[in-house]
Amino acid sequence: MNPEPNNPCSNKGFTLIELSVVVFLIGLMLLIAVPKVRDTILSDGLKTTVNHLAGTARELRSDAVRNQVDYILRLDLDNNLIWTHSADMTPEGKNEMKKRAFKVPEEVNILDVYLFGKEKITEGEVLIRFSRKDYMHPAVVHLAQKDQRFTLVFEPFLSSIRTYDKYIDFQDQILNE
């Protein structure tokens, strides 16, 4: 038999205590989970920088072929800036692009860049050229954050950038072979 709507003994619904316990438990879970998720997403500047460099390289490579213009990826090791421009851009245009540069997070350092056939570069600006003929200047970029290291390998004829979650010194490997 169905209870009548006006019957005060109806068992439908939740009590205030039950709702309060559920709200308290949800709040407790959020209190524990949110800081860890936030720290993982927001404070991992090294992975953000690696993803930015790899994505920028893919974009420059495809733009160079599509637009038939060489593009330059510039790494400012002294100021921790990453910016791009086309090879035929005016000096004013380059300055404008530099103003919109990606600022590497403070806790992340660009340790060095190795351009194949040259010495390892640890200061100043490094230019990596992306050709309209679908290749790029081969380079290795090393990034660090505290005790973490990343190596990015820009290979001339591959469309992707290889990344390693450790420091790999390709210069020594080439010299030892």
In a domain, 161, yes or no: yes
CATH number of the domain encompassing residue 136 = 3.55.40.10
Q: Residue 158 belongs to what domain range?
A: 45-176
What CA–CA distance (Å, rounded) separates 93 from 72?
A: 13
Residue 119 lies in a domain: yes
In a domain, 87, yes or no: yes
pLDDT at position 42 is 47
Residue by residue, DSSP assigns 57-120 as HHHHHHHHHHHT--EEEEEETTTTEEEEEETT--HHHHHHHHHTPEEPPTT-EEEEEEETTS-E
Residue 164 lies in a domain: yes
Residue 17, domain member (yes or no): no
**C-alpha R_g of the chain:** 26
Which pLDDT belongs to residue 95?
87
For the chain, how many structural domains are there in total?
A: 1
3-state secondary structure of 16: helix
Is residue 38 included in any domain, yes or no? no
pLDDT in tens, the chain (177 residues): 555 556 555 667 788 898 899 999 998 888 887 766 655 554 478 888 888 888 888 888 888 888 899 999 999 999 989 989 888 889 998 888 888 888 988 889 899 999 888 888 889 999 988 888 877 888 899 999 888 888 999 888 776 788 888 888 875 444 333
Cβ atoms of 148 and 164 closer than 8 Å: no
pLDDT of res. 6 = 60
pLDDT at 142: 92
